[in-house]
Amino acid sequence: MSSGNALQDLADRIVAKAKPGEQVEAYVSRGGETSIRIYEGEVEHFVSAQSESVGIRVIKDGRTGYAYAGTLDESVLSEVFAEARDNVQFGSVDEWAGLAEPDGVAKVPQELWNEELAHFPTAEKIAIAKELEKLTLATDSRIRIDDANYDDAYGETAFATTSGIRAHGRENGCYVSVGTLADDGDETQTGFGFSVGRTPTEFNLGRAAREAADRATRLLGATKPQSKRTTIVLDPYVTAQFLRVLSGSFSGENVQKGRSFFAERLGESVANPLVTLIDDPTNSLAYSATDIDGEGLAARRNVLIENGVLKQFLHSSYSARRGQTRSTGSAVRTGGTPGVSCLAMQLVPGTGTQEELIAQVSDGVLIQMVQGLHSGVNPISGDFSTGASGLLITNGQVGAPIREFTIASTLQRMLQDVVAIGGDVDWLPMSANGMSLVISDVTMSGA
């Protein structure tokens, strides 16, 4: 049986070789990327790359084995299958081990593939990155360029399982980014700007250039602030990073394994009533939008927190079986057995521009950048501490730049301490959206 899709056919062929008593999943993908870096008006590097991979999961008598290879070469496929089979014997028996099964949920049609991008001329991609560097340099005489980049990527995936999953999809996307350096005497500060599109014609180069220059220049002369309790206004980019830190706590698997501070809290108030948070990969505006999850099930919209109340956890087929519930289409692939994660987090926007939100803050800090979320935030205990830079807010106005300080609280408290959510939604090249977010009562540590 041919599906008319070469990857699907390959996945089907692998699964057809399953022996009696074996559950088998084949996950095959291929993709490519173009990466262009411009420095001082010339191409610094041009990377043109193709890659492919195959992962085979075998489950027998409740034991799981997995193997992968970075090639779809026929001669390697049988070796990968043999390795996965061999690995089965070393897994523990797990009564919930198994593959996803078709659940009748239809894919939400989305435009994830853009033909214009697929055929976009290389010379124009180079020209766009050069234009971004030029525009950024022209914004301010104190600005130098670290690098100006054009990147695009495409990917195709296909799943097949002995349990009847057959799914494939493909998507492409592109973005430009620019890193800036602003100098004043011995001092140097940095900034960045970017623009995302399904096709390069959607880029807003002017905005990327302006933001990259502003972020760097407005920190010039920044000093280290005094330690105190304060209110913070997160820039949309920082809000998106904050949302990502929360992602794992919504995983049903983490709840089952005692790694989520939301465990036992379903139906309870876990955030300020202003907060409604959803995970919706079916929204095409999201950079990480997709129509299938990491097990080939249809991606779907899931409400996580509604008006401050915790509504549900997310599940893969494994955590769903274990929790006697249904998959929420939230499986992700990192290794062999699929994990569970938010795919495209979206905080439902409030109203007001960043200026309007700042006008309500008598004494606080606009957080422009954070540093060290990976080292200072523990999503299991909830301890939150991150390096930051930004601008002081006094009587509703932004003022002097500050740097080399931390902001700290706990994730649990910060959700309750949300005092305003902006209407300034920004769709970022990340798996969460951004908007200005005001949180009270955090500790700022400085001098």
Residues 303-362 that bind other proteins (CB under 8 A): 335-337
Query: Which of 16, 118, 285, 380: binder of other proteins (CB under 8 A)?
Result: 380
Q: Kindly state the number of chain residues that form the binding site for other proteins, as judged by CB under 8 A.
A: 77
Query: Which of 11, 14, 28, 80: binder of other proteins (CB under 8 A)?
Result: 80
CA neighbor of 437 nearest in space, from 352, 374, 342, 345: 352
376 secondary structure, DSSP code: H
Query: Which of 16, 17, 61, 73: binder of other proteins (CB under 8 A)?
Result: 73
Q: In the complex with other proteins, which residue's Cβ is closer, 154 or 280?
A: 154
Q: Which amino acid is at 139?
A: T
223 binds other proteins (CB under 8 A): no
Q: In the complex with other proteins, which residue's Cβ is closer, 80 or 212?
A: 80
Per-residue x/- track, 168-197, other proteins (CB under 8 A): -------------x-----xxxx-------
Q: How many CB atoms lie within 10 A of CB 171?
A: 20
DSSP string, 201-254: GG--HHHHHHHHHHHHHTTTT-BPPPPEEEEEEE-HHHHHHHHHHHGGGGBHHH
Query: Which of 201, 362, 381, 394: binder of other proteins (CB under 8 A)?
Result: 381
Tokens of 79: 């070796």
Per-residue x/- track, 240-279, other proteins (CB under 8 A): ----------------xxxx-x------------------
CA distance to 363, 375, 379, 412, per residue, from 441 (Å): 11, 22, 19, 13
Query: Which of 110, 404, 419, 426: binder of other proteins (CB under 8 A)?
Result: 404
117's CB contacts (< 8 A; 6+ apart) are 152, 154, 172, 173, 174, 198, 199, 200
Query: Which of 6, 9, 23, 68: binder of other proteins (CB under 8 A)?
Result: 68
What is the phi/psi pair of residue 118, to 5°?
Answer: -60, -25
The least CB distance from residue 119 to other proteins, in Å, is: 17
Q: In the complex with other proteins, which residue's Cβ is closer, 307 or 375?
A: 375
The least CB distance from residue 333 to other proteins, in Å, is: 12
The least CB distance from residue 63 to other proteins, in Å, is: 8
361's CB contacts (< 8 A; 6+ apart) are 231, 233, 393, 396, 438
Query: Which of 227, 325, 351, 362: binder of other proteins (CB under 8 A)?
Result: 227
Residues 123-152 binding other proteins (CB under 8 A) are 144, 146-147
Measure the CA–CA gap between 2 and 5, rounded to whole angstroms.
7
Q: How many CB atoms lie within 10 A of CB 180?
A: 28
